[in-house]
Chain A
Amino acid sequence: LGVADVSLLKELLSSCPVIKQIKTGSDGTGEGSWTERTRTLQPKTQDCEVARSICPYCAVGCGQLVYHKDNKLVAVMGDPESPISRGRLCPKGSATYQMHTHSGRLNKVKYRRPYGTAWEDLDLDDLVAISEDPNVRIMESKVFVCNVVPGRVSDENALEFLRQQKQRAA
């Protein structure tokens, strides 16, 4: 046996659980049995950017922290600094992450043009463009828009607010 073989054998033996247990005197249920993954576990929100938002569901308007990384949503948790909810969320609010990411979420709208006979698929952005066009008076031009807007404006920006008002006016 060469020196390399002996060191390899030693390495193999020392990684054997029984020998590890005898060496450390543990019963194999504690720190000695932690894997590298267990030792270095990190919450998925680590190194994420955080945006402050408001829960899109009911009119209570609980605070939410939106964790995102590389333009992807990672998690939505309650905002402990919100005076309304102090970091708590109800089951609906707790499921906000899936409201955005669920495979069953609709991301196209059905649209029938004025005097058109068939429905066509329209991207959400196009719908927003139509509903925000000041030349389009929704009722008079026979453009019917059916769309769901939250009771609360989720990110408090002006565009969202105007869209909501327009929706209500229509």
Chain B
Amino acid sequence: MTTLALRILKQMHGPNVRLGAVADIVPVGTSREKPAPAFLRGLVLPIGDPGGPFEPLTVAVEPGRYLVQATLPSGEVLTEEIDATGPEMVSVNLVSEESPHEWLGKLQALGGVPSWRMRKARRSILGVAPVARPLDVHVLWFEAVTSKARINDWLKLSSTVSEQDLKLLFGSLKKTGRLKSVFANDDYEKFEIADIPAADAGGIPPVSLKALLGTENPSGRSRHYLALEDDTGIRGLAVLPLPWPYSNQNDSRAGQQMPVQIVLREPAPGSCFAESPVQPYISVDDPDVGALLGFLGRLDLQSAGSILVQAAQWLYEKVMNPLAAAAGGYILLAAGGLRGVESDEWKDWVKNLANWFEWLPDGSIQLAWLKLNSISPEDEAAVTQEKTIEAIVEEARELLLRALGAGVPLYSNGVRLLVDALTLVANHEEYRGKHETAEGNVTARALMLARWLSRRTDPSQPFTAIRI
């Protein structure tokens, strides 16, 4: 056997990404007559700075020629044909494209900003000179408590949706801090909290934003938002994934708060942020979860599926980091569980995520989706089928209303799933003639509110960012 040592090289300007890119190793020159040695699919490679030491992933292969193809969360595909016929270890260092700035390296690999090449091509075509320009927005950090009672009242009483109603989902925002720009290059800006107390900022790199902890309130955990504000008021809100502790128990950093990165970038023309001078992009600097979030943002289940075991682990360890657990839940939900594992234990973990962390809408949404997708042909064939199915739909409906009561989903995929699940319930009620009952009216209003939120959500980001 020959050993391959595989890794992705990228200017990172910060910690490496342990679970970074997803790679296949395919033998070259095979045919039906010449059977291939075993394929290696879905290997997870680290991404790291070429200047610093970091461990490659090592795998043993039968001697031969192989094609190594790795997909980064950004969608970039790196390919190299290698000769592994000898007994010695073969180092495979795949080099990622250059990013617009070194400090954007990691974010570009994870899909937050385009590569330097694409940006340059676009700029040369449009004739736009890369110039730094002053921003006329303020970036604020808010803490908020969503009022379930107020949302429930609205669902029972209101017949239309307005901007004011959307703000219901955010609850009462309490300004926590104003952010100051750390970097400003061309059309990118990076922020940190300006007025964070020194004691809280200790030990955190200067470009990071760290959660102020201990802000729990009697009704549950408070949520954190970033707001873009100009002379006319708040123009955009983005959910901040705070607090985000590192959950890898085998690492000395376990339990340590991971920095959240905020980058403001030029909005795509016509996007929901088009009328703002900038668009926020939120990411979390977690060496294990960062790539999964990138794949989730791109809705690349094939690649994300390679991190299924880790996703299940985050879901299992939800108490450690419920926000990361929710990301794992979305992947497992779409993949239909772990490959080659018959056990449905993961469904219990989703249930626990929903029930133990009611303040996090994403768990309730996932459990509702799971329930709606649980109806079997046996349920339909049973004598009591109508009763069984109605009970399942009702449980899902209650969970979806609970999710709305908890406010804006952390993940944009949650917004999408919330609308889809409520649509299924509303369609079902309409089909069964229940849509004109009091319950049917509440479902219709919940769907109206969810769609209102969905229409303002940027679907290209993992975390929910909303134009106001």
Q: Are A and B genuine complex partners?
A: no
Chain A interface residues (CB < 8 Å from chain B): none
Chain B interface residues (CB < 8 Å from chain A): none
